[in-house]
Amino acid sequence: MGSAVRQSQARAEPDPLQVTMKKGRVPLERALSKLGLASRTEARALVREGRVAVDGRPVTDPLFEVVPERARIEIDGHRAERPRPVTILLHKPRGVVTTRSDPEGRPTVYGCLEGLEAHVVPVGRLDAATSGLLLLTNDTRFADWITDPRNEVPRVYLVTVRGELSDDKAREGERQVAGSVTVRKRSKRETHLVIELTEGKNREIRRMLAALGHEVTKLKRVSFGGLELGELPPGEWREVTIEELRAAFERFGALPERLRAFPEW
């Protein structure tokens, strides 16, 4: 009985950070990240190096609480302000990882972003073996909105698997991933599919097809919401305009306020 009570209390114990954090306040490292000025890791280093001041006072604790909308944050003596929102569409090549740095030394998507000055982060991820459309942005509110499963923003993939995948298996795959699985063509050697999902779970397509007895040999994302990969070559990127973003995503529900409220972007 006592053990069960202790386990129940342990499960109910809230996150200490959430207990101490007052409403509207966030850790300084998170504020810098949410403003699109640095990654959480980079922000943490900036603060610890004494390069960040809040309301004129140097701060070296990355967990120092701030209200981003009210605090005057400076980096190296310069006012830290939210940069111009930038969203880009990258054709991620196969074999490239969706991270800033890789301990195994593999190439990363940031190696494809030559000439881009904005600090952007990936909107979701594509695994190393998957190619195709990857969005990166410095607008974290937009990124949170587009990846929220409640908005059901579709992602479309072209998939090739070993062996002949039957219609019955395609229907079973649809039930497993709560999406659509369409057979484009098939032979004894391989089957070509179009799969549409409304949530980007890690390796979901590969796991589903493996459970059906088929190995994925090629996986490419060709659209995200109303944005299409088109003829953009692998490794190349282009900026997506605010007009494109509105046209591509407004059909899936209420856009984030920032997309509606700033027509001059």
Q: At what angle do helices 204-211 and 167-177 cross, to 10 degrees?
A: 140
Q: What is the pTM of this model?
A: 0.76
pLDDT digits (tens, 9 = 90+) for 95-142: 999 998 889 999 999 999 998 988 898 999 999 999 999 999 988 888
Distance CA 231, CA 158 (A): 15
Q: Can you tell me which residue has the tokens 């939210």?
A: 82
Give the tokens for residue 158: 């072209």
Question: Cα Rg for the chain, rounded, in angstroms?
Answer: 22
Angle at 68 between CA 62 and CA 74, to 5 degrees: 65
Angle at 129 between CA 94 and CA 150, to 5 degrees: 105
In degrees and rounded to multiples of 5, residue 248 shows phi and psi of: -80, -25
Q: Are 160 and 190 in contact (CB under 8 A)?
A: yes
pLDDT digits (tens, 9 = 90+) for 195-226: 999 887 888 999 999 999 999 999 999 999 99
Active site residues: 127
